[in-house]
Every structure is written in structure tokens, then in C-alpha cells.
């Protein structure tokens, strides 16, 4: 089993909402792109929430989320894993969120794309009530999650609607 490493965050000074995954899957690591598996519904959901024509060009996707004040990162910095399933993650080490929040103090909302991201953050970082951050656990956009697309879209939409009212 090889040690796998995540990516740098997609973030800039405009970012207000941080979406956290657990760890990039095999296809994402191969292409060095967040949510590169075409069966993952992440990009489809975000484009639909913002009523925008979806792009397949990664650089355009990055520009799209930045322009909508969204940042993307993963909770896990590195780990051992066979395949793409979160259940196969071993010996994870998490990213430095203290440094991220210090560098980008305008982040107000953190959304977890799935249970593994949420559980890992809770275990290693925790939810500090003295911060001004709001946390939301979302249904995973992963193809491993069998919930219907419409249900995922509705849930993500409810959380995004509330978060975007304050930015």
C-alpha cells in the first residue's frame, strides 16, 4: 500500500464557504483534480445550485467555485488506502485547519461532503464553539452513496441557501 497525498486547497481571499471531502479518489489523484470521477455528482450539484451551465474543463470549474466564494479541500492530508472507498482509509493524517482559518478568516461555513470527512474532522480537529464557524454535514456526492440525485441536490440546496444568505 502506497502513501497517498491530497492536494492544496482551491481557495482565495473571496472564499466564505469551505467544502471538505475526505481524501481524493483514485481518478482524482491520477488527474490531480478534485472530484475527477465523472460518476461523482459534486460538480453537477454545484452547477445546478447556482443555475449555471456545467463545464467539463477543470480550470473553468475552479474559476466557477472561486467566483461563488467557495473553497474546496480535504480533511485528510495523507493516508494509506487501496482503491477509492473511504472505508479503506488507514493511518490518516489531517490537514492544518488552524493555519487555513488564520490565513482565510472570512470563511464562515464549513460543509462536509460525506460522513468520513465529518467524522475525521470531528475526531482530529473538533468543533470549537468559540469560532464563528458554522458546520454542516452533507450527503456524499460520491457514486458509492446510493441516495437519489434529487435528494442530494435538495439537501445540498437547503444548506447552501442558508449559507449564501450571509455572504
Which ranges of 2-85 would DSSP assign to H, the alpha helix?
26-31, 42-49, 58-67
pLDDT at 35: 98
pLDDT at 84: 84
Domains in the chain, number: 1
Is 2 noted as a catalytic residue in this protein?
Answer: no
Contact 45, 156 (CB under 8 A): yes
Question: Other CB atoms closer than 10 Å to residue 54's CB: what's the count?
Answer: 12
| Catalytic position from the list 40, 68, 95, 113 | 40
Residue-number span of the structural domain to which 70 is assigned: 3-164
- Looking at the DSSP bridge assignments, the partners of residue 90 are 80
Q: Give the pLDDT means over successive 10-residue stretches in the chain (167 positions).
A: 94 98 95 97 97 97 98 98 85 97 97 97 93 94 90 93 69
Q: What is the CATH number of the domain that holds 77?
A: 3.40.470.10
pLDDT at 166: 62
Amino acid at each position: 500500500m502506497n502513501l497517498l497525498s491530497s492536494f492544496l486547497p482551491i481557495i482565495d481571499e473571496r472564499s466564505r464557504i469551505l467544502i471538505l471531502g475526505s481524501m481524493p479518489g483514485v481518478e482524482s489523484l491520477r488527474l490531480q483534480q478534485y472530484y475527477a470521477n465523472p460518476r461523482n455528482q459534486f460538480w453537477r450539484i454545484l452547477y445546478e445550485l447556482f443555475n449555471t451551465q456545467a463545464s467539463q474543463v477543470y480550470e473553468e470549474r475552479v474559476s466557477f467555485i472561486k467566483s461563488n466564494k467557495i473553497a474546496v479541500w480535504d480533511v485528510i492530508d495523507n493516508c494509506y488506502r487501496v482503491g477509492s472507498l473511504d472505508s479503506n482509509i488507514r493511518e490518516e493524517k489531517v490537514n492544518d485547519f488552524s493555519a487555513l482559518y488564520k490565513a482565510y478568516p472570512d470563511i464562515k461555513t464549513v460543509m462536509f461532503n460525506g460522513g468520513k470527512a465529518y467524522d475525521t474532522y470531528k475526531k482530529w480537529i473538533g468543533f470549537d464553539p468559540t469560532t464563528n464557524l458554522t458546520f454542516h454535514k452533507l450527503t456524499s456526492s460520491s457514486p458509492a452513496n446510493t441516495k437519489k440525485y434529487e435528494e442530494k441536490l435538495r439537501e445540498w440546496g437547503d444548506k447552501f441557501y442558508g449559507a449564501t444568505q450571509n455572504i
